[in-house]
Each structure stands twice: as C-alpha cells, then as structure tokens.
Amino acid sequence: MIRRFAALMPLWVVALGIVGYLYPPPLVWFKPYLEWMFFGTMLGIGCTMQFSDFRPLVRHPHLVLLGLLAQFIIMPGCGFLIAKALHFPPELFLGMILVGVVPGAMASNVVSYLARTDVAYSIALTSTATLLSPILTPALTYLYAGTVIHIDSWAMCLSILKIVLLPLLIGFSLKHFCPKPVERIHDVFPALSALCIAIICGMVVALNQSRIASLSLVIFLAIFTHNLLGYSGGYVAGKLFRFDRRRRRTLAIEVGMQNAGLGAVLAIAHFSPETALIPAIFATWCVITASLLARYWSRQVPQEVDGN
C-alpha cells in the first residue's frame, strides 16, 4: 500500500496542483514549513543510501565524472538558451536557470530501475551530484543569471547545506549505525518524499494562482522543450562517451530528470513565488515523461553489456 502510494507520485502532484489552483488556502498554510518539508524528504532519501551506492564512483570515476559534466553542461546551457531566445522576464528566466542547475532528481533512480537500465550508475550519479550541489548550484546560478538578477550565492549555498546535505548525512548515518530500526520503516521514506514534493508543487501553484491563468503557452512549451533536450542531450552525450545502450539510457534519464522541487524551494526562499513556477511545473512534467519513457524502454531491454 505504501509503495503504491509512492509509485503514484505523478498523480498526487497533479491532484494537489489542481487543489492549489482551485482553493489555495490549505496549501498556502504550508509555506512557513517549506524548508522543513524538503529537509524531511532528503532525510528519508539519506536513510535509503548506503556505501555500495558509491561503488561505481570508486571503480569507474571517469564514467561518473563524464555523466556529471553532461548534466551540469546540458541542462543549465539549454535553460539559458531557451529563456534568452524567448525573452523571458527576470523571474521566469531565473526559474529556467534553477531547473538546469539543480542536481538530478532522486526519483530518477526508481525510473532507471523501472526502465531496466544501469541502476548502480544512476544512483552514483544522483548521489554525487547532490553532494556537490552546495557548490555547483549557487555557482552556476550566478554564472548564468548573475547579470539578470541579484544572486546571493553564499546564502544559496547555506540553504542547500541545510536542507540537502545535512539531512542526507543524518539519514545516511542512521542507516549505517541503526540499520534495524531504519529497515522497519524503510518503505515509508519514498511515500513521505512523494507526499512532500506533491505538497511543495501544489503550494507553488497556490501562491501563484492569480498569475497562472495569464501564463502564456510559450512557458509550457519552454518547459517541455527543456525536458526533451535533457533526455536527448543525455543520450547523445552517452553515445559520444561510447557508453553501451543501457548506460546511455541511464544518462538520458539522469540529465532529463531534475530535482526541480529543490529549485522551487530555493526560488521561494531567495527570490519570489513567481520564480518557483517553472521549477514546480517542470517537477510535475518530468515525472510524467520519465514514467512514460521507463515504460517504453522496459519493453526494449538492450542485450549488450559494456565492460567499462
């Protein structure tokens, strides 16, 4: 039952988005607890991590490095070019950049499993990118958007340390030093994460209710294009790196799926609710498209195995 709840995350995100639009007050109530909800999400993820998740990083560090380069070049670059080409105002421009500079979504590990790709590689990429995010996310935000809007990189770094790295380390420590109690409630963590992300996305919709009706279809087209370029760019990068097909598909999922929930939290904490709109919509959309992609690829399991 709990696992089923987590698996239906796209449905909960859409449902709470509709609730946020039709009747905002219940979801706006969560705004003061936004960072704590994301803290709980990352704590739960930390409790599912283990040392073996980093085995590919130790055995094949060049493969993880290539994957990280693809992710942190393709998504920020595409977001920047799309926002520039469409002449987005500063708030929406920054929203596109935030989607690109956050690490890959933890849900990508589940999608990789469902797609029958290289799950170990997926976990290593997501975990490493998340651990590097306190440095890379503020730095890349400043690089791409510093001339458009004021960026306090140090404040962003502290926020990410507090709501991402700290709970991950606490959860990881609990898993390592208290494995039996953590194992008993292991299935609760994905469901808790799904619920928190759905509430965050619904809350962003609620905070922007008056703006959503006037949103141009161009904004939705920009989000869909960004997501599509992430998947295709990741796959092409894997081909250039001479990855086998399973690993190319893994990289496509990792690049195309972003932790846009983190982008929405950072937007509200440091900028404006309007800036959080694009990350919130992207978070919803990428879960839906990734689920469809996983369903398609799971029926076409590649036979070759790469020795890298």
In one-letter notation, the amino acid at residue 125 is L
DSSP state for residue 33 in the 8-state scheme: G
CA dist., res. 238 & res. 232, Å (int)? 10
pLDDT for 143-176, tens place per residue? 998 777 777 878 888 888 888 888 888 888 888 7
Residue 139, in any domain of the structure = yes
pLDDT band at 273 (very low <50, low <70, confident <90, very high): confident
**For residue 7, what are the contacts with CB-CB under 8 A and spacing of at least 6?**
none
pLDDT for 235-252, tens place per residue? 999 999 988 888 898 999
The whole-number pLDDT of residue 233 equals: 94
Residue 12, in any domain of the structure = no
Residue 5, in any domain of the structure = no
pLDDT band at 72 (very low <50, low <70, confident <90, very high): very high
Residue 214, in any domain of the structure = yes
**Whether the model pTM is above 0.85:** no
Q: What size, in residues, is the chain?
A: 308
Residue keyed to tokens 């990118």: 129
Please tell me whether residue 257 adopts helix, strand or coil conformation. coil
The whole-number pLDDT of residue 307 equals: 46
Signed CA dihedral, 51, 52, 53, 56: sign only: positive
CATH of the domain at 181: 1.20.1530.20
Enclosing domain of residue 141? 33-297
CA dist., res. 150 & res. 141, Å (int)? 10
Counting the structural domains of the chain, the total is 1
- Contacts of the segment 57-60: beta carbons below 8 A, 24+ positions apart: 57/124, 57/128, 60/308
**For residue 111, what are the contacts with CB-CB under 8 A and spacing of at least 6?**
253, 257, 290, 291, 293, 294
The whole-number pLDDT of residue 240 equals: 93
The whole-number pLDDT of residue 5 equals: 57
Which residue from 139, 167, 165, 134 is spatially nearest to 151, judged by alpha carbons? 139
Query: Out of 86-90, 172-176, 194-198, which region has the weakest mean confidence (pLDDT)?
Result: 194-198
Residue 302, in any domain of the structure = no
**For residue 177, what are the contacts with CB-CB under 8 A and spacing of at least 6?**
none
pLDDT for 90-122, tens place per residue? 989 999 999 999 988 777 777 776 677 777 788
Pair 120, 55: CB distance under 8 Å: yes
Pair 72, 103: CB distance under 8 Å: no
The whole-number pLDDT of residue 304 equals: 54
| Percent of the chain topping pLDDT 90 | 21
Residue 39, in any domain of the structure = yes
Residue 24, in any domain of the structure = no
Residue 303, in any domain of the structure = no
